Chains A and B, each alone.
Chain A
Amino acid sequence: MFTELNVFKIAYSMATHAGKRQALVSQNIANADTPGYHAKDIKPFKEVYAAGPRPGDMVASRGSHLNGNKGSQMDWAVTTSDTGADPNDNSVSIETEILNGVEVKRQHDRALAIYKSSMNILRTSIGRS
C-alpha cells in the first residue's frame, strides 16, 4: 500500500507546475517593458497531467541543454504567445499576468494542502498526531 503513493506524486507535480509557472509569470512581468519580448507560459496542469509522462522525449541532463525535460518526465514545454503585440513588439499584459499569478498561488496552496493532509493521514496511521 505504501510503495506507490499516487496522491503525493500528483500533489508534487501540481506544486512543481505552479512553481514553474510562477517563474514564467515573474519573467513576463519583469520584461513587461522590454522591446521585442513575447509573453511565455506553460500548458495548464490538467492537460500536462492528462498527457502523462512522455518517455520518448529528450531529457535535459544538465542546465545548459536548451530543450528537453528536467527531472520528472512531464511535458513542461514553454509556449510563447505573440498576440496583441504592442508597437514595440512586446506582448505582455500586466493585468493578465497578475491574474495568472493569482491562479498560480491558488494552485500551489491547493497542492500543498493536499500534500499536508495526506501526510497527516500517514502520521495518524502510525499512531502520531
Chain B
Amino acid sequence: MSEFANSLSVTASGLKAQATRLRHVSENISNADTPGYRRKSVPFEAARDLENDVERVKTGRVSLDRSDLENIYDPSHPLSDESGHYEGSNVDLMIEIADAREAQRSYDANLKMFEQARGMSSSLMNLLRK
C-alpha cells in the first residue's frame, strides 16, 4: 500500500512542478511586450526523500534570463532615448510556446500515472468486497 502512496505523492510533486513551470511560461508570454522585462525560468531539482526512498521533483529558485534585451526603434515611445530606441523584453514567443507544449505533455503523463495508481489501489481494495 505504501508503494501506491509513494507513487501518488511523487506524481503529485510532478504535477505541481509542471504547473509552476506553466505558470512562469504564461507570465513570460503575457509580459512579452513589457519594456525591460526579463524572461523567467524555473529549474527542476530532484528532492530525495530518504524515509520512503523516493525522489520527488521540486522547483528551485526562479532565475532571470541575462541575455540582452531587444532594442526596439520607436521614437514616439515615451521610454525611447535620444536615438529613438527603447529596451523591450527578451522573451522569445517561439521558445515559450515550445516550453508550454513540453510542460503540458509532461503534465498529461503525470496525470495518467496518477489515475493508474489510483485505479490499481482501488482494484486492490475491491478484493475485500463481497
Binding site for B on A (CB under 8 A): 15-16, 18-20, 22-23, 25-27, 29-37, 63-64, 66, 94, 97-98, 101, 104-105, 108-109, 112, 115-116, 119
Contact = CB atoms under 8 A, between A and B. Distances in A.
A22 B117 contact: yes
B117 A31 contact: no
Given A19-B7, A27-B54, 16 more contacts: A20-B3, A26-B7, A26-B10, A26-B114, A27-B6, A29-B110, A30-B14, A31-B44, A33-B17, A35-B43, A37-B46, A66-B50, A94-B109, A104-B116, A112-B126, A112-B127
Interface string B94-117: 000000001001100110111011
Q: Is the interface of A mostly helix, strand, loop or mixed?
A: helix
Nearest to A34: B44
A94 B124 contact: no
Q: Is the interface of B mostly helix, strand, loop or mixed?
A: helix
A105 B46 CA distance: 26
Contact of B124 (A37, A63, A64, A112): A112
Contacts of B46: 31, 34, 36-37
B80 interface: no
Contacts of A34: 44-46, 57
Contacts of B13: 30
